[in-house]
């Protein structure tokens, strides 16, 4: 069962703008708003039952973090899924995540990490994880990353990592939604064992392995989506560089957006 009482779960902020930002960001990550979709401030106000000023401030924060963009004469739009965006995420993670291998962990920290790894192992035991089981495993992984980021002595790097992880989740959810394949759940057992033994180099290599797995999976999905595009569409976009190719979500019903604070 998910440990809802975990001190490493993100706590709900009393800041209404922060809460609005989180709700809209999560809706984008889960595909409730498609890449490139226009976001109406009024619709968001009605959906989440908050004021326009709060919505506008939340969207401004999300624009700085790469989730939405302000378009002249058309308002806000969800940022497109692009090759350049994916490169930014993968390079950022590859450069910053290995820093987590050098954080100082207390005995209680190690014990907490071991507990989370045991929870993951229990879910993985007996077969591959999928569906809600995979989501739960990734939630434990999020708690592991949050603990490590909290021990960084550089808060700015921790903030950058948080943004990169959310954007990575957005891209991963997008690609998995249109594919029968899923990125294999990360096993943090070796990382925790390396940290416990003081082998920070091995821990850093394990983090790099996680980054490489994400990069390989998402880049393969991106390549397949481009190859599957009709030739007519490719010809029309011949003036666009490969780095700027946008990927559109296949047409289909999206989940209801109705939810309240």
The residue among 137, 35, 131 whose CA lies nearest residue 81 is: 35
Angle formed at CA 58 by CA 55 and CA 63, multiple of 5 degrees: 120
Tell me the two tokens of residue 17: 């703008």
243 against 212, higher pLDDT: 212
Q: Is 34 exposed, middle or buried (0-12, 13-18, 19+ CB in 10 A)?
A: middle
What φ, ψ does residue 208 adopt, rounded to 5°? -65, -35
Q: Going along 88-128, which residue ranges are E strands?
A: none
pLDDT tens, residue by residue, 137-173 = 899 999 999 999 999 999 999 999 999 999 999 999 9
Give the Cα separation of 98 and 220 in Å (integer): 23
Specify the pTM: 0.79
Q: What is the pLDDT of residue 121?
A: 87
d(CA 68, CA 81): 11
Domains in the chain with CATH codes: 16-79+230-247 (1.10.10.10), 83-225 (1.20.120)
Give the pair of three-digit tokens for residue 230: 């009709």
pLDDT at 166: 96
Q: What is the pLDDT of residue 245?
A: 43
Distance CA 191, CA 205 (A): 9
Compute the distance between CA of residue 186 and CA of residue 143 in angstroms, rounded to an integer: 13
| Range with the largest mean pLDDT of 69-73, 213-217, 223-227, 246-250 | 213-217
Pairing relationship of beta strands 68-71 and 75-78 according to DSSP bridges: antiparallel
Q: Is the pLDDT of residue 233 over 50?
A: no
Q: Rounded to a whole number, what is the distance in angstroms from the first to the last CA of the chain? A: 25
Count other Cβ atoms within 10 Å, centred on residue 206: 22
Where would I find the H helices in 127-199? 131-150, 155-177, 189-196
């Amino acid at each position: 069962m998910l440990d809802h009482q975990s001190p490493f779960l993100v706590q709900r902020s009393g800041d209404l703008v922060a809460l609005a930002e989180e709700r809209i960001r999560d809706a984008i990550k889960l595909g409730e708003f498609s890449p490139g979709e226009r976001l109406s401030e009024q619709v968001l106000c009605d959906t989440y039952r908050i004021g326009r000023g709060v919505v506008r401030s939340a969207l401004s924060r999300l624009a700085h973090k790469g989730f939405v963009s302000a378009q002249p004469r058309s308002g806000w739009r969800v940022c497109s899924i692009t090759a350049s965006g994916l490169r930014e995420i993968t390079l950022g993670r590859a450069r910053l995540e290995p820093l987590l291998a050098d954080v100082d962990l207390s005995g209680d920290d190690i014990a907490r990490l071991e507990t989370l790894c045991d929870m993951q192992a229990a879910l993985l035991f007996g077969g591959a994880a999928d569906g809600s089981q995979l989501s739960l495993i990734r939630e434990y992984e999020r708690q592991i990353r949050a603990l490590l980021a909290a021990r960084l002595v550089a808060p700015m790097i921790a903030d950058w990592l948080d943004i990169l992880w959310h954007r990575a989740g957005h891209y991963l959810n997008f690609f998995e939604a249109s594919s029968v394949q899923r990125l294999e759940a990360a096993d943090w057992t070796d990382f925790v064992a390396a940290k416990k033994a003081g082998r920070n180099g091995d821990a850093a290599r394990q983090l790099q392995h996680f980054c490489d797995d994400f990069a390989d999976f998402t880049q393969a999905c991106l390549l397949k989506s481009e190859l599957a595009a009709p030739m007519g569409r490719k010809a029309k976009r011949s003036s666009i560089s490969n780095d700027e190719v946008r990927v559109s979500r296949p047409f289909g019903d999206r989940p209801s957006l109705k939810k309240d604070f």
